[in-house]
């Protein structure tokens, strides 16, 4: 694609990178075929090719409008278009630049600004989010059904004992909302890694990976979260921790990108690069171990429909790994149509774009439940919560299912209580 960005913009790193990305795009439109929002609206401007063109116009000096912002807001950042693109267009980086420019040029209404601010002030902070969630859960039994569906039932963290000290040690990313919504996921991870001879270490002072602020165009705030995590993790890294274990696939691409996002920060660039080298999705870690040696395979084979989050399959390029692990653990996987499509969770998308998110969720659940599974498994807390509110079968993190096979050989994974 030919471009004519202003020289002043081309003199900046962001401008140069955007120009390079734009030039890679040959405008073929293959990406539209796998874009969930283009499939829903049929509007070229709601597809990746149209969004790239809109961002190009903004970069070239055209004034964006509320309509431009709407089409960029509707993007899920699912990155299915990147997986499909034959030219390797780095769409999400271009989108980051485009969104930042449009956000500045087209201010939002006060209620919209307040909502975004509230999300940034609450969700990444467990000390604020957890009491609010617990209050909602307390009143859940008396709430109308429509509100009840929006507040997940309280989950118990099963004791992580007994875990042993092992020579091999890994560091666990705490994250933001997951410990309050589903503490059993980290507990299961610790037990599975323990069975595999790995001690999982938690440190205080860390927290949100920064993805939430990043997706809400608050880049400096996101960098603050990254630096905070690096400071908290650094002593353990210096002591030789083997990896940073990430159980929410939505956080993993972010931590794997710390090195690039902090590349110009002289105080943190080297440490951020090291953190990114150590960051691994928990599926990558377990795939390298002898899982079958610790599995107590059940007689029956529960049927699982696996939803691979976009952050796992598109952003990290991890395909088939979790499915293989579940099969090794004794589960039977059902066939799922359109498995490349997003479920509509996408960070805060389900709150900011509720209508499209609900349609995508219903379509996804239709595909997942078509094979009549006993349960649905996924790899990201956002997808899990979004789908569980409307699913006909339990929705769990896949690591809980592995844990069930290691601890008790209970194929239902129900030893943590039903959702």
Binding site for ligand SF4 (CB under 6 A): 25-31, 35-37, 48-49, 51-52, 75-81, 85, 87, 89, 91
CA atoms within 13 A on the CB side of 414: 8
Q: Which is nearer to ligand SF4, 81 or 195 (CB)?
A: 81
Give the integer Cα–Cα distance in Å for 176 and 159.
Answer: 20
Give the integer Cα–Cα distance in Å for 296 and 314.
Answer: 32
Alpha helices, DSSP H, located in 258-408: 258-261, 269-278, 282-287, 310, 321-328, 349-352, 354-369, 381-388, 398-407
Shortest Cβ 251–ligand SF4 spacing (Å): 18
Give the integer Cα–Cα distance in Å for 221 and 210.
Answer: 8
Q: Which is nearer to ligand SF4, 78 or 246 (CB)?
A: 78
Give the integer Cα–Cα distance in Å for 41 and 74.
Answer: 10
Q: Which is nearer to ligand SF4, 49 or 386 (CB)?
A: 49
Q: Which is nearer to ligand SF4, 28 or 66 (CB)?
A: 28
Shortest Cβ 362–ligand SF4 spacing (Å): 17
Phi/psi at 348 (nearest 5 deg)? -95, 10
Shortest Cβ 39–ligand SF4 spacing (Å): 9
Q: Which is nearer to ligand SF4, 72 or 404 (CB)?
A: 72
Q: What count of other Cβ atoms lies within 10 Å of the Cβ of residue 134?
A: 11
Shortest Cβ 269–ligand SF4 spacing (Å): 28
| H or E element, residue 395 | strand 395-397
Residue with tokens 């908290």: 232
Q: Which is nearer to ligand SF4, 89 or 248 (CB)?
A: 89
With beta carbons less than 8 A apart as the criterion, state whether 233 and 271 touch: no
226-to-152, 271, 276 alpha-carbon distances in Å: 28, 11, 11
Q: What count of other Cβ atoms lies within 10 Å of the Cβ of residue 145?
A: 6
Q: Which is nearer to ligand SF4, 52 or 402 (CB)?
A: 52
Shortest Cβ 345–ligand SF4 spacing (Å): 13
Alpha helices, DSSP H, located in 109-168: 110-122, 126-139, 145-148
Give the integer Cα–Cα distance in Å for 199 and 285.
Answer: 13
Shortest Cβ 94–ligand SF4 spacing (Å): 9
Tokens of 163: 């875990």
Q: Which is nearer to ligand SF4, 178 or 249 (CB)?
A: 249
Shortest Cβ 16–ligand SF4 spacing (Å): 19
Q: Which is nearer to ligand SF4, 49 or 361 (CB)?
A: 49
Shortest Cβ 140–ligand SF4 spacing (Å): 32
Give the integer Cα–Cα distance in Å for 384 and 399.
Answer: 13
Give the integer Cα–Cα distance in Å for 89 and 26.
Answer: 9
Shortest Cβ 105–ligand SF4 spacing (Å): 20
Q: Which is nearer to ligand SF4, 43 or 327 (CB)?
A: 43
Give the integer Cα–Cα distance in Å for 252 and 155.
Answer: 23
In this structure, the strands spanning 395-397 and 168-172 are: unpaired
Shortest Cβ 90–ligand SF4 spacing (Å): 9
């Amino acid at each position: 694609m030919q471009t004519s960005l202003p020289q002043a913009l081309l003199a900046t790193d962001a401008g140069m990178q955007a120009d390079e990305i734009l030039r890679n795009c040959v405008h073929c439109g293959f990406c539209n075929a796998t874009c969930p929002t283009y499939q829903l609206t049929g509007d070229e401007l709601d597809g990746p090719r149209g969004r790239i063109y809109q961002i190009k116009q903004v970069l070239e000096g055209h004034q964006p409008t509320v309509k431009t912002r709407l089409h960029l807001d509707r993007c899920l950042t699912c990155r299915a278009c990147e997986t499909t693109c034959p030219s390797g267009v780095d769409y999400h980086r271009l989108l980051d630049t485009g969104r930042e420019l449009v956000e500045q040029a087209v201010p939002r209404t006060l209620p919209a600004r307040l909502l975004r601010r509230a999300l940034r002030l609450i969700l990444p902070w467990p000390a604020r989010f957890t009491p609010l969630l617990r209050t909602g859960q307390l009143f859940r039994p008396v709430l109308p059904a429509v509100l009840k569906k929006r507040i997940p039932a309280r989950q118990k963290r099963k004791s992580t004992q007994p875990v042993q000290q092992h020579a091999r040690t890994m560091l666990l990313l705490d994250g933001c909302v997951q410990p309050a919504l589903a503490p059993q996921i980290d507990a299961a991870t610790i037990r599975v890694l323990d069975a595999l001879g790995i001690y999982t270490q938690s440190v205080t002072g860390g927290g949100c990976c920064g993805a939430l602020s990043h997706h809400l165009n608050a880049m400096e705030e996101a960098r603050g979260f990254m630096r905070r995590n690096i400071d908290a993790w650094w002593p353990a890294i210096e002591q030789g921790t083997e990896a940073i274990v990430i159980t929410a696939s939505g956080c993993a691409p972010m931590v794997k990108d710390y090195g690039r996002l902090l590349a110009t920060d002289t105080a943190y660039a080297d440490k951020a690069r090291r953190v990114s080298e150590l960051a691994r999705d928990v599926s990558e870690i377990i795939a390298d171990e002898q899982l079958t040696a610790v599995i107590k395979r059940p007689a029956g084979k529960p049927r699982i429909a696996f939803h691979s989050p976009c952050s796992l399959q598109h952003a990290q390029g991890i395909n088939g790994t979790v499915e293989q692990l579940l099969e090794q653990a004794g589960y039977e996987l059902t066939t799922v149509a359109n498995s490349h499509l997003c479920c509509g969770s996408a960070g805060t998308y389900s709150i900011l774009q509720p209508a499209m998110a609900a349609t995508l969720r219903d379509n996804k659940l239709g595909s997942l439940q078509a094979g009549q599974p006993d349960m649905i498994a996924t790899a990201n807390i956002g997808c899990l919560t979004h789908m569980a509110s409307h699913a006909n079968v339990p929705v769990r993190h896949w690591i809980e299912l592995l844990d069930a096979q290691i601890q008790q050989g209970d194929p239902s994974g129900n030893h943590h209580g039903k959702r």
